[in-house]
Amino acid sequence: MTTKRGKFLTLEGVDGAGKSTHVQWLVDTLRNKGIEVLSTREPGGTPIGEKLRELLLHEPMGLECETLMMFAARAEHLRTVIEPALSTGIWVVCDRFTDATFAYQGGGRELGYDRVETLEKWLHPDLQPDRTWLFDVPLTVARERLNRTREQDRFEKMADAFFQRTREVYLARANAHPTRMICVDSTQSIDNIRKDLELDIAQIIDAAATQ
Ligand code: TMP
């Protein structure tokens, strides 16, 4: 009997959009339904990736270096964590993936999409998430939530125009990939958001069972 490939589920959104509130809940919900799940994040998820994360979040660097380091961390993550899990039937919940590079580096930092696409085609030509939940809030809400949290990292300190561009790219990608990406109105209450997520998870599980 061949092992069914696991599902690859990602969460996205600008800083302060509230996605982190739901990661563990999503993992627990899937586990309660009997699914084996690995929870991970980007940048990070491997010993090298976590070291790169520290640099990425706190050291000043140029846009080329930043983009390549995001993909360097991702390459290691894919090779040692994500692919081995998916290919043995384990589901992967990943807090951010390549959509974040399109939105933050491509849009926020105005690198454009061509180079991000080139790196994506090199490093994971055949892999896209099976589902991406995009947590969306207006800039004012994101800012207000961020101001309430711990000390801000390099990305969180960026100007409003950066956040606006990043959000716009995320929304454009959700429009361009309507079957993969679901836009979650993250100004709603946590309970309402989870009701919608739970329905979506049930559909994903049903679809996986019939594949
Ligand atoms: P986190 O705070 O959601 O863990 O994400 C860390 C930061 O890294 C966040 O500000 C977004 C940023 N980031 C990028 O700029 N590009 C990427 O490709 C990824 C994965 C994250």
pLDDT at 151: 81
| Distance from C-alpha of 144 to C-alpha of 126, rounded to nearest angstrom | 38
Query: For residue 96, which atom of ligand 1 is closest to its CA?
Result: 20
Residue 100 C-alpha to ligand 1 middle, in angstroms? 6
Q: Residue 54: count other Cβ atoms within 10 Å of its Cβ.
A: 12
The binding-site residues of ligand 1, defined as CB within 6 angstroms of any ligand atom, are: 15, 41-43, 70, 95-96, 100-101, 104-105, 155
CA–centroid distance, residue 43 to ligand 1 (Å): 6
Spatial separation of the C-alpha atoms in residues 28 and 102, rounded to whole Å: 29
CA distance to 43, 63, 103, 104, 139, per residue, from 112 (Å): 20, 11, 9, 10, 21
Mean pLDDT for each consecutive 10-residue tract of the chain (211 residues)? Answer: 90 94 97 97 98 97 98 98 98 98 98 98 98 96 83 86 96 98 97 97 96 85
Report the atom number in ligand 1 closest to the C-alpha of 104. Answer: 15
Q: Are 64 and 112 in contact (CB under 8 A)?
A: no
Q: What is the pLDDT of residue 1?
A: 62
Indicate yes or no: pTM above 0.75. yes
Domains of the chain: 8-209 (3.40.50.300)
